[in-house]
Amino acid sequence: MSDNRYSRQIALPEIGVAGQAKIAAARVLVLGCGALGSIQAELLARAGVGHIRIVDRDIPEWSNLPRQFLYDENDVRERIPKAVACAYKLRAINTQIEIEEHVKDVTPANIEGFLQGVDVVLDGVDNFETRYLINDACVKANIPWVYAGVQGTRVLAMPVIPTYGACLQCVFPEAPVSGSVPTCEISGVINTVPALAATLQVSQVLRILIDGSASVAQNAKLMMIDPWCSVVQAMSITKNPECPCCHDHKFSFLDSKIFSRQALLCGRKSVQVTPAEPSDWDLGTLAGRLHELGKVTMRKEVLEFEVEGYRLMIFKDGRTVVHGTPDFAKARSLVSKYIGN
């Protein structure tokens, strides 16, 4: 193995030998491995982050390939879960680091477990509800995280540094009403925008690891960049002294009071249905039961079931992604009819 792998980073005064050692000792959690998370994870691996924990609930689709850089056509054809495909490719990129993958949804029941032992968290999810859940969990655990959102040609990004700086709810007090914000399926997105967002996020992560949370919080900004229109804005963010999350420590999303069990997936006509309690299904047994009712295909950690013109992707943890409808009631009905949860 060449000794100069990180020489260009070490040459930077901002990093140096000591900074690279901090990067190598770091543990980073990437929540979501789509357009943002797949690029985040690759940048972290190439930078030499010592341990990367990846969590994603989904499988790659053809429409993902223009902007989700780690995946290829074979991953789509074979229905390889994103977390599995991502981890496999990261291990080929850098054998010096540890990769830990989880084919799971991020929920109030498991997020605190995923946070165990990590230094910083990256937001790679595709909905506001989960971002507010991340905010709750990270504020409670006093772990910094980096938010980003993309829409059309615009990027928003900012670091959230509990104790020292504003949290997500300080800046955006109310989560948007479901359906009120256009998804990438409706408004579209170019592939440079998620790449830019992930670059901004990972840059902040490396700063947090090297300079420390307090230092980053001193000049934390909400960045808005539109590369198509050549617009760059940096807005100061301040703590809300009446914030229910970081001031009052009321964690509504983490406490499951308003966290839904169905989610419309970004970018396609699909709904995810999650059981009320975590499960560990025997997919082989389930495949045998469904075989007489429709077309069944076993994939890696996923059971694919086609019936009534819909495609159900069933995961070991009990989640089912229903492709072919954006209607929650229809998706719930199909899951109840054929699976029973």
**Residues noted as catalytic:** 184
3-state helix, strand, coil in the chain (%, to 5): 35, 25, 45
How far, CA to CA in Å, does 75 sit from each of 68, 85, 158, 288? 12, 7, 31, 25
Beta bridge partners of 100: 53
The residue ranges of DSSP E strands in 194-309, in sequence order, are 221-226, 231-236, 262-264, 270-273, 295-299, 302-307
Q: 136-171 b/e with 16+ CB inside 10 Å = b?
A: bbbbbbebbbbbbbbbebbbbbbbbbbebbbbbbbb
Rama region for 227: left / alpha / beta (φ>0; ψ in -120 to 50; rest): alpha
Q: Say if CB 128 and CB 175 are below 8 A apart.
A: yes
- Picking from 147, 152, 142, 94, the residue whose alpha carbon sits closest to that of residue 119 is 142
Which SS3 state, helix, strand or coil, does residue 78 take? Answer: coil
Q: Say if CB 315 and CB 278 are below 8 A apart.
A: no
Q: At what angle do helices 35-47 and 192-211 cross, to 10 degrees?
A: 40
Tell me how many degrees the CA angle 6-114-224 measures, rounded to the nearest 5.
Answer: 65
Which SS3 state, helix, strand or coil, does residue 262 take? Answer: strand
Q: Alpha-carbon distance 288 to 127, whole Å? A: 34
How far, CA to CA in Å, does 319 sit from each of 78, 293, 310, 312, 316? 19, 19, 16, 10, 7
